[in-house]
Amino acid sequence: MARKRGPLKGGISPLFVVMCVIGFTFGYLIWFNSNDTNITQLKYSEFVTALKDGKVAEVEVDEQFVAGKFHNEEKKFYAFAVQNERLWTLLEKSGAAITVKPTDRQNWFFYFFLMLLLFSIIPLIFFFYAKQSQGGMGGGMGKIFNVGKSRAKFIPPNAIKVSFKDVAGLVEAKEELSDVIQFLKSPEKFSRLGAKIPRGILLSGDPGNGKTLLARAVAGEAKCPFFSISGSDFVEVFVGVGASRVRDLFTQAKRHTPCIVFIDELDTVGRQRGAGIGGGNDEREQTLNQLLSEMDGFSTEPGAVIVLAATNRVDVLDKALMRPGRFDRILNVPYPDITCRKHILEVHLKKVKLAKGVNVQTLAKGTPGCSGADLENLVNEAALAASKADKRAIEMIDFELARDKLFMGEERKTLVLSDSEKECTAYHEAGHTIVNMMLPEFTDPLHKVTITPRGRALGVSWFLPEADRHSEFQGRMEAYIKVALGGRIAEQLIFKEVSSGAMNDLENATEIARKMVCHYGMSNLGPISFGSRVRKGMAMQPEYSEATANKIDEEVSRIVIDAYKDAEEILKSETDKLHSLAKELLEKETLFANEVYDLLGVERRGQDKEQEDSQE
Ligand code: ADP
Ligand code: MG
Ligand code: ZN
């Protein structure tokens, strides 16, 4: 989680501070002068009379005036007076307690003012220092004196309400972490038998898959103190600041054992040393070294500080971080599979109001490649869509809208397409869809086809897998290329002309073909991998010869051209279907799979078939 800096804190200008200090000083001076209503001014003659009558208890004598108190009276007085022999004789005779003031009040005010100014300048200097050390990003008065202090957020035990229940899936990671939780709950049970528990655990996985969530859940389950900091909080312009922050963090943590220190985005400090441009970055290296030595330091002590860290770039981390005693356990936090997506959706759907027909399984199926954060976002977008439409509960169609928006961008209502552009798009999409439908064994079933422009796309044919797949077969890859080319072929067949709209399709088709040749050994070049590159001098070069490179290119284009011909055959023999689907699309813009099946008289597939079967 990125730490956000409040706009107010960042917005305090030094000028504002100076104005405040000066304002307060003047304010105080004026108050000091006027506030004393307890003091009355006497005429010199009145003062002398009072003195002679023995009414005066104390007198303070200055160059220009006398001030003091009467007996039996709270009130103070003062009077302007000139110091001379006569006054002194009177004073000495009166029996009042006399003090002589060495400096006059004017001077005293002056010094007071000077001191205030001085004291206000010192923090200002700190302020500028702190501001600079954050790369000009702000920071505020609160941080002025904290340059070398860790910025870790301290969360006391029981304050975290997240538990393993809130983390769907991630079974393996949770299992490993439950050992750590056991340990944090009762460390003596482990140390008694001499069992060692890993000190450092690294959570690795792409953003949004629940690393931060998991770390918080561990703290919530173990009910122990939790220090949370982001790697970027260590990184400073000034050499030594980051290192001292690390030291401070661990000093604090050791006072609260057993506890968890969570370093999010570890890669910002933990990059390989000496790898930066210009030979590396002194400050970051110092910070990293400090972190390494802290992690070594407590591995022998009984008090337990468990360090959890998260990163989505394990590959760039300094290898020293992964040595035994440091982050020697790496837990994967992968993209959720279909069952896990279902669980994640269930977690987040609990917080909203659902209509009857919402099928979580279908939603899970329809969101391949989505991270946990994407799914949370999907639920939220659907709730927004339903609220906008004044609905009582979220319906399936709201999820459909939300997913379209998330995957493809906002609907472009203002985009005005000419009739010929629309027609071209309709035939293009119909081309994809029909090629797909005619290759049922090798393709994913249709979900829907639309010519409503969204984001950068003018239209889309959606095909959704029935289940997650972890490997692909050659037949499926070839079919994928055919479907991708179907759009372009339809344009060519109907209009005898092609548009730029197929750019993405061609890219995808070519990329798959190249992978088939170079990585999967699915070509006439045989089961050889042509992937790796080797360093030759300064440049990275392929490991194979120029002649092989030419052969690879030939094979790639052969695969694409063959696929093109096959798909062309399909569309030529199904031109009727192509026309009727394109016409229907121009009319209705969006067609769901069963509508397409009905229109074309094609047998239903996948989920639509299941539904039909169960209705009968
Ligand atoms: P990361 O730290 O890996 O980038 P986060 O932990 O910040 O990801 O996840 C972002 C949000 O996505 C979480 O707050 C949570 O709402 C949701 N999320 C991600 N994975 C899961 C999961 N396995 N179960 C439930 N919610 C999840
Ligand atoms: Mg995170
Ligand atoms: Zn296309």
Q: Tell me the percentage of the chain whose pLDDT exceeds 90.
A: 32
pLDDT band at residue 505 under the 50/70/90 scheme: very high
Which pLDDT score is estimated for 539? 65
Residues 256, 259: Cα–Cα separation, whole Å: 6
Looking from the CA of residue 1, the nearest atom of ligand 1 is 7
pLDDT band at residue 5 under the 50/70/90 scheme: very low
Q: In 510-520, which positions are buried (b, 16+ CB within 10 angstroms) versus exposed (e)?
A: bebbbebbbeb
> 593-600 vs 575-588: helix axis angle to the nearest 10?
130
Q: Is the CB of 207 under 6 A from ligand 1?
A: yes
345 Cα–ligand 2 center, Å: 19
pLDDT band at residue 102 under the 50/70/90 scheme: low
Per annotation, catalytic residue among 429, 478, 555, 568: 429
Which pLDDT score is estimated for 134? 47
Mean pLDDT of 328-353: 91
Which pLDDT score is estimated for 534? 61
Q: Is the CB of 184 under 6 A from ligand 1?
A: no
Contact 575, 496 (CB under 8 A): no
Q: Is the CB of 215 under 6 A from ligand 1?
A: no
Q: Which of 561, 542, 540, 562 has the alpha carbon at shortest distance from 550? A: 542
Q: Which CATH number fits domain 153-332: 3.20.20.140, 3.30.9.10, 3.40.50.300, 3.40.630.10?
A: 3.40.50.300
Q: Does the pLDDT value for residue 387 go beyond 50?
A: yes
Looking from the CA of residue 333, the nearest atom of ligand 1 is 3
Which pLDDT score is estimated for 452? 87
Mean pLDDT of 110-122: 81
Q: Tell me the percentage of the chain whose pLDDT exceeds 70.
A: 82
Q: 419-615 sits in which CATH class?
A: mainly alpha
Instruction: Give the ligand with the smallest distance to the CA of 424.
Output: 3
Q: How far apart are the first and last CA of the chain?
A: 50
Instruction: Give the ligand with the smallest distance to the CA of 265.
Output: 2
Mean pLDDT of 211-216: 92
Domain 338-408 coded CATH 3.40.50.2300: no
- Annotated domain spans of the chain: 9-29+107-146, 35-103, 153-332, 338-408, 419-615
Looking from the CA of residue 347, the nearest atom of ligand 1 is 25
Q: Is the CB of 212 under 6 A from ligand 1?
A: yes
Residues 595, 588: Cα–Cα separation, whole Å: 11
pLDDT mean across residues, the chain: 82
Which pLDDT score is estimated for 75? 75
The more confident residue out of 75 and 503 is 503
Q: Is the CB of 373 under 6 A from ligand 1?
A: yes
Which pLDDT score is estimated for 143? 44
Q: Is the CB of 198 under 6 A from ligand 1?
A: no
Mean pLDDT of 371-375: 93
pLDDT tens profile 266-308: 988 887 776 555 445 677 788 888 888 888 765 555 567 889 9
pLDDT band at residue 473 under the 50/70/90 scheme: very high
Which pLDDT score is estimated for 2? 34
CB under 5 Å of ion ligand 2: residues: 212
Instruction: Give the ligand with the smallest distance to the CA of 206.
Output: 1
What does 134-166 look like in DSSP terms, one character per residue?
Answer: TTTS---GGGGGGTTS--PEEE-TT-----GGG
Q: Is the CB of 169 under 6 A from ligand 1?
A: yes
Mean pLDDT of 37-41: 73
Mean pLDDT of 553-566: 96
Catalytic residue flag (residue 283)? no
pLDDT band at residue 13 under the 50/70/90 scheme: low
For residue 301, how far is the Cα from the chain centroid? Answer: 34
Q: In 550-569, which positions are buried (b, 16+ CB within 10 angstroms) versus exposed (e)?
A: ebbeebbeebbeebbebbbe
User: Which residues have a Cβ under 8 Å from the Cβ of 217 and sit 6 or more positions away?
Assistant: 162, 163, 164, 166, 167
Residues 53, 442: Cα–Cα separation, whole Å: 120
The more confident residue out of 310 and 54 is 310
Pocket test residue of 165, 204, 370, 376 for ligand 1, highest count of atoms within 8 A of CB: 376
DSSP-derived 3-state class of residue 228:
strand
Sign of CA dihedral 422, 428, 434, 440: negative
What does 120-137 look like in DSSP terms, one character per residue?
Answer: HHHHHHHHHHHHHHTTTS
Q: What is the pTM of this model?
A: 0.66
Which pLDDT score is estimated for 113? 82
pLDDT band at residue 556 under the 50/70/90 scheme: very high
How big is the CA angle at 293 (ends 287 and 298), to the nearest 5 degrees?
130
Which pLDDT score is estimated for 302? 57
Which pLDDT score is estimated for 142? 41
pLDDT band at residue 1 under the 50/70/90 scheme: very low
The more confident residue out of 6 and 592 is 592
Looking from the CA of residue 310, the nearest atom of ligand 1 is 2
The more confident residue out of 21 and 360 is 360
Contact 454, 410 (CB under 8 A): yes
Which pLDDT score is estimated for 493? 95
Looking from the CA of residue 210, the nearest atom of ligand 1 is 6
Annotation: CATH topology of 35-103? 3.30.720
Contact 467, 338 (CB under 8 A): yes
215 Cα–ligand 2 center, Å: 9
